[in-house]
Structures are given as structure tokens and as C-alpha cells.
Amino acid sequence: MLTIYSEQQKLHNPAREFLGGDLVPYLESPKRLDYVLEAIQRNDLGRIEWPDSFSTEPIARVHRPDYIQFLETAWQRWHQTYPEATQASPYCFPHRGLRHVVPETIEGALGYYAMDLTAPVVEGTWKAIRASVDCALTAQKRIMDGEPVAFALCRPPGHHASKDVMAGYCFFNNAAIATQAFLDQGAEKVAILDVDYHHGHGTQSIFYSRSDVLYASLHADPRRDYPHYLGHEDETGEGAGLGFNMNLPLPLQVTGWVEYRRALELALGRIDEFRPDYLVVSLGLDTYERDPISFFNITTPDFQELGRCLAALKKPTLFVFEGGYALEALGHNTVAVLEGFSA
Ligand code: SP5
Ligand code: ZN
């Protein structure tokens, strides 16, 4: 299987994130890429290529221009205000009853464009998030040119980013940008299957009122885990998009392969009925039994079975890397899905 990867993605390297009320080492670390790359090479999964460089045009098909510009200049603005700081985070948010007007200060703008404290901006963030999108768009282009399947080894991840809000380690929504690129290049329908442990609320919101993109997601029940405020079963789309959003929230602790597989069959059935031209898989590996922030019980052999189930749809498939934080197993688990798909 073809993998697209860029070293530039490591330039996003925040030291810490807020977790449990304190600053802890940043879980979504550049090392994640090394573990996955190493496993791909060790298992001879196929060739690994660098991405092409794309302009911001395909990004602007999904994200608001002012949000793109904010991300490009945020670090410089923060650095001018706080020359000693190593990362930029908001401390204040336009919550209920407040005005949604972009403030002039960087502190205010950060709160306006962020949902939470888990997407800190650092000096290398802009270059890394552009490279991450480049990986997704290059893999997308290869598939458009006839490659049956490709793996975009993206980082930072993307599925928590909406059109103008960063959140949950995500800035640009790589899967959504690639999905829109398929449509802009002639596809009529694209299905997104999100198997990350967390609900991809950014992706859902981007396509919520559209019938040309089916978004289906299996994830931790938002009543019990992040992103807390979206991802319920009764969110089925709106307007023209009604019926084109499918959420399958699952309980923490008791969700193993048997329960997961049952929900997966429902999602796959809906995708099959939708008859998409392309399948985009938001591939999070944080459903793993030993993931440090997650509470499902999926094992390495289960991931291989997941790959086989996805292949049964028989669609040209773009895998976009999302979450997964059990470093020592991240490589094997990723390769297990991709090998299962190719078997
Ligand atoms: C891409 C991705 O996987 N982003 C995930 C970001 C999650 N960050 C917040 C994690 C907080 C988990 N703690 C909730 C415990 C519930 N029992
Ligand atoms: Zn996740």
C-alpha cells in the first residue's frame, strides 16, 4: 500500500497540554510518526513517498479564510506579546450570551478560534499543518489517478477541526479537505467512516447539511468522553443533509470487538446503500485496549479484522491518520488495519 508522509509534520511539537487540571507532556507527539513509519518499513507494507505542495485553495474549500489567516500568523502575534512563551493557548472563550466578534488581540482571537486548550499553537505549527494537508491531498490525488488505496500518514490530526475552530490536537481537517477535493475533481458522492475513539465533530459539522457526503462515526459516547458536546445518535443531518450523518456512540469500558463489530456492520451497511465513489477512513487507533486516554477494548488482531471489513466495501479508499496514543503499539496497530485491508 502506498503511504504519503512528510518530515515537516514534526515541526508542530508543543511541550505540554492540559489534562486532569495540570500541564502534562503533549500526547500527540511527533514520535507517533516514527513508530508508524518504522512499522510500515519493517512489515514491507509498500512504498513511502513525500507529498506534493498544494496552495491554500483546497483548504479554503473547507475552512474560512479568516481562520486560515489566523493560523498562519497566530504564532508570530503570540511571540510578539509573550517573547518567552513556548506555546500559545487561549484562556477565555465566547461562551453562551457573549458576542461572536473576532477580538483584535491574539488572546481574544485564540479563544474565538479554539474550542478547548488541547490545540496549542507553536512556532512550527503552520508548516506542520500545511504538510499534513499536503499528505492527505497527495494521497487523494494518487487515488483519483487510479491507485486503489493509499495511506496519508498525517499529523497533526484533523477530525476535531471544523471550518473555523481548532480543537483536540487538530487544526486543519485533513479528511474533510481530501473529501472536498474528490468532489471538486468530479466525484458525485464520498463516504467518510470515522473509526477514531473520539467523535469527529469537526468533520460532522463541515458536512452536516450536505447529501453528497455521508459521515458515519463509531466513537465513545459523548456523554462520557471528549468532545463532550457533539456526537449523539440523534444527530442525523439537517436540511438537504438529513439522513446523511450517522453517529454510533458506544459505551466506555464494555466496548470490545463483538460490540464494536455490530456497530461497524450498521455503518458499513449504510455506506454500501449510499453507493459512494470514494471512501475516506478517518483512521484513529485510540480504540486500542491500552490507549492511555481511551476506554474501548480493541486488540491488535481486531484491527486486522477491521481492515478486512473495510475492504469488503470494495471502494477506492483513502486512509487518513487521526488519533492513537499508545506509542509502543501504534505502529503494529496501524499496520494491522492496512494489512487486513490488503489481505
Ligand atoms: C485526534 C484525537 O484523538 N484527539 C483527541 C483529543 C482528546 N483530548 C481530551 C482527552 C480527555 C480525556 N479525558 C476524559 C476522561 C473520560 N472518562
Ligand atoms: Zn481520538
Closest atom, ligand 1, to C-alpha of 324: 3
Residue 95 a catalytic site member: no
- Looking at every residue in the chain, the average pLDDT score rounds to 98
Closest atom, ligand 1, to C-alpha of 293: 12
Greatest Cα pair distance, the chain, in angstroms, is 55
Q: Which of 12, 63, 159, 160 is catalytic?
A: 160
* ipTM computed for the complex: 0.95
Q: Is the beta carbon of 156 within 6 A of some atom in ligand 1?
A: no
Residue 135 maps to a domain: yes
Q: Is the beta carbon of 212 within 6 A of some atom in ligand 1?
A: no
Residue 73 maps to a domain: no
Q: Using 50, 70 and 90 to split pLDDT, how confident is the model at 13?
A: very high
Using CA positions, which residue lies closest to atom 14 of ligand 1? Answer: 225
H-helix or E-strand spanning residue 196: none
Cis peptide before 251 (omega within 30 of 0): no
**Domain of 260?**
2-53+129-342
The average pLDDT across 235-251 equals 98
Q: Which three cell numbers stand for residue 261?
A: 463489530
Residue 69 maps to a domain: no
Residue 232 maps to a domain: yes
pLDDT digits (tens, 9 = 90+) for 114-152: 999 999 999 999 999 999 999 999 999 999 999 999 999
Residue 240 maps to a domain: yes
pLDDT score for 78: 98
Residue 74 maps to a domain: no
Question: Per residue in 128-141, is it b (16+ CB within 10 Å) or e — as a string?
Answer: bbbbbbbbbbbbbb
Residue 92 maps to a domain: no
Domain count of the fold of the chain: 1
C-alpha 139, offset from chain centre: 15
21: CATH: 3.40.800.20
